[in-house]
Amino acid sequence: MKKEDIDNIVELLKIAKSGALEREEKERKGLRELPAISFNLPENMQKVRPIVSVDGSFSFLFSFLGADTWIVLFRIAVTDYQLEEKNGEIHYTLRNPLKVFDHLNLLSFSEKVLSQQPEPFLLAERVAERFQTRKQVLFASNIMTYLEHKTLEKISETYKDCILFADGALVSIKKLRRVELFNRIIENCKRNNILFAGISKTTSTHFFNKFYSDDYYLKKFYDKKYSGLTYIRVPIKEYEAELKKFFLHGEVFFTKLNENATKWFRIDIGVDGGNKENFFSQIAAYSMVHLVPGYPIGLIETHKIAKSVRNFKEVYELELIESLKNIGLNADEILDGAVDIDGEHLRSFHELLDLVSK
């Protein structure tokens, strides 16, 4: 490597850094301050409601690429935690055993297959087919959220007096026609005294600033100024034109749920019981896990359980291989159908080259 090449890169990086600082200062001067409201943890921890959390994941098992068809395993996880205070210490305990629901589905872009499946599959296929390079992942993702929402609906029918967390924003793509499903969830929650919200792990939205993502913006410009528990309401009416492809099913907030929070989380509130400060206060009571401060314990655990679907890939594959043989596929055809977690061929040329290069 030539020293002059390194020196040239260093000089260019100095210019880039200088430009970034100038742009940041310009952005800082044009910052629009939104009202930030502080709140505290509940005075009486014994009165904090239980939290029920729902999250999902999926794993591709086999592909029949000539037929644009995949076998996919979905896993939906549900946890039910309560808070207990003993000798001045907070403990999170499972109120009910965790629940895991596995769904094995066939996802296909074949009209003949889709005609034999429920409407959500057809609608998800129509949305995904426009994205040629990642269409199978988007198809699977939209089916996964459908299964999550159906689980939320069932919980909202059968549980009472708790907080119900969905993983992700309370948003649906208009073309997926899930407004009625969300309305049923919200009506069930109101009837059964359930507070309902969706919490996003990450967000690429630009509500606060066109240049910075909301995650980065809040971490950079709000974190030090608002060091305690804080929530900020997004004036969503101002962004309706940008959200024309989506339905929002609640009010949108960004919240710091722990003084040492790793980030500000987007929280969409569907049902808050009429007292937002109390609502955020109760969520914060479940967000004191040292490993991930500022993120509720229920969603930490459901994410971990849902992602474990990938650990069961081989078990399901062995069962499927026997079944696939019975429909006349030979060993080569079955092995050719093996895919990675994104539904792509398991052995790409790149992987083969890495193996022979060891």
CA separation for the pair 201, 55 (Å, rounded): 11
Give the domain range for residue 104.
Answer: 37-311
pLDDT in tens, 300-325: 999 999 998 877 666 666 666 666 66
Percent residues over pLDDT 70 in the chain: 82
Q: Quick one: pLDDT at residue 349?
A: 44
Q: Any idea which of 249-253, 323-327, 350-354 has the lowest mean pLDDT?
A: 350-354
Type of residue at 79? T
Q: Is residue 26 part of a domain?
A: no
Distances (CA, A) of 239 to 144, 156, 178: 27, 30, 21
Is residue 90 in some structural domain? yes
241 exposure class (CB count in 10 Å sphere: 0-12, 13-18, 19+): exposed
Examine residue 9 and state whether it is found in any structural domain, yes or no.
Answer: no
Mean pLDDT of 251-261: 94
pLDDT in tens, 110-128: 999 999 999 999 999 999 9
CATH number of the domain enclosing 58: 3.30.420
* pLDDT tens digits along 149-202: 999 999 999 999 999 999 999 999 999 999 999 999 999 999 999 999 999 988
- Assigned domain for 186 exists: yes
Q: Are 226 and 255 in contact (CB under 8 A)?
A: no
Interval 274-284: pLDDT, tens: 899 999 999 99
The pLDDT of residue 355: 38
CA 165 to CA 261: how far, in whole Å?
Answer: 19
The tally of domains found in the chain comes to 1
Write down the pLDDT at residue 356.
Answer: 37
Confidence of residue 248 (pLDDT cuts 50, 70, 90): very high
- Measured between alpha carbons, how far is residue 174 from residues 119, 244, 308 in Å? 14, 9, 31
Is residue 5 included in any domain, yes or no? Answer: no
Residue 149 domain-assigned?
A: yes
Let me know if residue 116 belongs to a domain.
yes
The whole-number pLDDT of residue 178 equals 96
Look at residue 255 and tell me if it is in a domain.
Answer: yes
Give kind and range of the element (H or E) at residue 120.
Answer: helix 119-128
Please write the tens of the pLDDT for every residue from 192-213: 999 999 999 888 888 887 777 8
